[in-house]
Amino acid sequence: MDKKNLFRGVIPEHWDAIPEQVYPVPIQLNLRRIQRSSTDFIPDKDAQLPPYLNNLVTYANANLVALTLVAGDIAPISTGATAYGTALNNVATAKEALKQAILTKDAARKTVTTNVRVLSRKVQGIAAVTPAQKAALGLSPRTGQRQRTAPLTPAGLIATASADGTNTLSWSRNTNKPTTIFVIEASYMGGTGWVYVDAITSTRYQHRGQIPGVTVYYRVTATRNKQSSEPSQSASVYGPPRRIVTDLKIAA
């Protein structure tokens, strides 16, 4: 190992005075893996500085005569390394404490805001409380019951048959909310006598276990908050694509 690379930045005036027997460095530390900036020999990363300092202090103390140093040259670095290690541990402890404090704060916020909403619903249900009184409490001065809109009819229903007996359905959500439930029905009698198949929140469904070649009509109804849309236009496999007009509507 080249002396200038080993002791670069530490004791440059004594490179040539160092005898060969001081090699190699007795501490198992891969100095090449320690990340440094392009202009400094001291590691950039906080976690890499303690092992670097430990290596420097240990090696220097073990070779004071060869390096023409005295213990007083190394003592400030040794003391500083200890102080830095303590400070680094304090930072890690503080970060963990901050994390726990944030979790506690979030839980407290959730609890108190939930209680505020409970009170708000109670106040909103009391007809004698005026909008001005609600506003004074910091609540929404709602004057009437919230109107829930019915879901919209699913659009663009397509049915595709596969040779393995799986009929794949897909349709458009038609701006319905992600919480909307789509009820799938099938008809094996040309668009009458609808039977329940499944209820899902996605817009794609595979109806397995069907008989290849058998005509099946499908329709989809959107439901949300105990309200239902009109059934979608029907789609069929192994049958003519046509709209089945029906006034049937499933219950929510």
Confidence band of 246 (pLDDT split at 50, 70, 90): very low
CA distances from 4 to 13, 14, 16 (A): 10, 10, 9
Cα 74 to Cα 65: distance, rounded to the nearest angstrom: 13
Residue ranges covered by each domain of the chain: 3-69, 155-237
Q: What is the CA radius of gyration of the chain?
A: 38
Q: Write the pLDDT tens digit of every residue in 40-77.
A: 889 989 999 999 999 999 999 999 999 999 999 999 99
Angle (deg, nearest 10), helices 49-62 and 71-124: 160
Of residues 248 and 148, more confidence is placed in 148
State the average pLDDT over residues 157-164: 96
Q: What's the confidence (pLDDT) of residue 189?
A: 85
Tokens representing 79? 């003391």
Peptide bond into 24 cis (omega under 30): yes
Helix (H) or strand (E) holding 49: helix 49-62
Q: Write the pLDDT tens digit of every residue in 12-41.
A: 554 455 444 444 444 555 555 555 555 788
CB–CB of 35/47 below 8 Å? Answer: no
Compute φ and ψ for 215, nearest 5 degrees.
-70, 130
Q: What's the confidence (pLDDT) of residue 33?
A: 58
Compute φ and ψ for 134, nearest 5 degrees.
-65, -40
Partner residues linked to 223 by β-bridges = 181, 228
CATH superfamily assigned to domain 155-237: Immunoglobulins (2.60.40.10)
Cα 162 to Cα 19: distance, rounded to the nearest angstrom: 83
